Amino acid sequence: MAGPGLLLVLSAPSGAGKTTLAHRFRAREPDARFSVSATTRAPRGAERDGVDYHFVSPARFDELVAAGALAEWAEVHGNRYGTTKATVEEALRAGQVALFDIDVQGGEQIRAHWPSRTVTVFILPPTLAELERRLRGRSTDSGEAIARRLAAARAEIARGLGGYDYVIVNDQLDRALAQLEAVVAHERARLAGRADPEPAAVAAALRRSRFDAAGWDGAGPIG
Ligand code: ADP
Ligand code: 5GP
């Protein structure tokens, strides 16, 4: 169903399951598309150029920045990542849900550029110990990269819980997916000027302002 385009920003500490969730969401929403970012990092596992990322050299990334072609960019874990303005504008024109799998600083910049069209969703792991298990289970990163991602997790969580619109705890994947779908249904209905009571009620319960950070199990130490 085409309608008003929605910029759906998904952020999470690395390993929380955001990519898994985003792909499951996309599989159920033919109208959704991924925003493909440019990055200077090397491809990982089965990642493909132009599908998962546009893999570019540091010099090419410099050119994109100098040309003003990026809506936002950030350095994450020692590599640079950025979203082109053209990607966002095309998604808005097409009236689709554009999924942004980007970090919190990038998500905040997208929202600052397109405030009425952006919804920001922060994905949390059930606990930090489970985050570490998922990172190790994914077995695509070196021990050193995992340690770096875990060290960054607390700061990313603090930022996400500080300013994002919604918080979803990815404990059971099916439940997290249903929650994400309710948020999107609610936000799309809102943009289209329709009332949609059922997703609205689910979405309201997921507002960050309703999230009990003190009661979240992940508040404990890592490991
Ligand atoms: P991210 O994109 O946030 O870095 P991934 O989607 O790559 O994370 O997920 C990290 C690992 O955790 C993957 O091996 C994935 O299969 C697993 N995972 C994702 N969601 C869940 C879940 N709800 N329960 C258990 N494992 C999960
Ligand atoms: P990964 O290397 O695991 O694919 O991504 C590392 C981090 O970079 C993740 O938090 C991811 O969301 C973020 N990221 C990916 N693309 C972009 C982007 O275009 N902009 C920003 N700001 N962050 C991004």
* The pLDDT of residue 222: 47
Per-residue pLDDT, averaged over 77-87, amounts to: 92
101 lines ligand 2 (CB under 6 A): yes
Kindly report the pTM of this predicted structure: 0.92
CATH number (domain holding residue 143):
3.40.50.300
Q: Which ligand is nearest to the CA of 110?
A: 2
User: Is residue 51 in some structural domain?
Assistant: no
Residues in the chain: 223
Residue 179 main-chain phi, psi, to 5 deg: -65, -45
User: Is residue 48 in some structural domain?
Assistant: no
For residues 33, 37, 43, 44, the Cα torsion angle rounded to the nearest 10 degrees is -60
SS3 content of the chain, % helix, strand, coil (to 5): 50, 20, 30
Give 120's strand partners.
9
User: Is residue 30 in some structural domain?
Assistant: yes
User: Is residue 223 in some structural domain?
Assistant: no
Could you tell me the residue range of the domain that residue 159 belongs to? 6-35+96-214
116 Cα: distance to centroid of ligand 2 (angstroms): 23
Q: Read off the pLDDT band of 149 (50, 70, 90).
A: confident
Question: What is the enclosing helix (H) or strand (E) of 129?
Answer: helix 128-138
Least confident span in 66-75, 103-112, 131-140 = 131-140
Check residues 223 and 29 and name the one with the higher pLDDT. Answer: 29
Nearest CA to 19 out of 158, 164, 177 is that of 177
173 lines ligand 1 (CB under 6 A): yes
Q: Which ligand is nearest to the CA of 169?
A: 1
44 Cα: distance to centroid of ligand 1 (angstroms): 15
Q: Whose CA is nearest to atom 3 of ligand 2?
A: 14
User: Is residue 62 in some structural domain?
Assistant: no
Q: What percent of the chain has pLDDT over 90?
A: 70
Q: Whose CA is nearest to atom 22 of ligand 2?
A: 106
102 lines ligand 2 (CB under 6 A): yes
> How many whole angstroms separate alpha carbon 29 and alpha carbon 176?
15
* The pLDDT of residue 142: 85
Structure tokens at 136: 């190790």
Q: How many domains does the chain have?
A: 1
Per-residue pLDDT, averaged over 149-172, amounts to: 92
> How many whole angstroms separate alpha carbon 52 and alpha carbon 99?
12
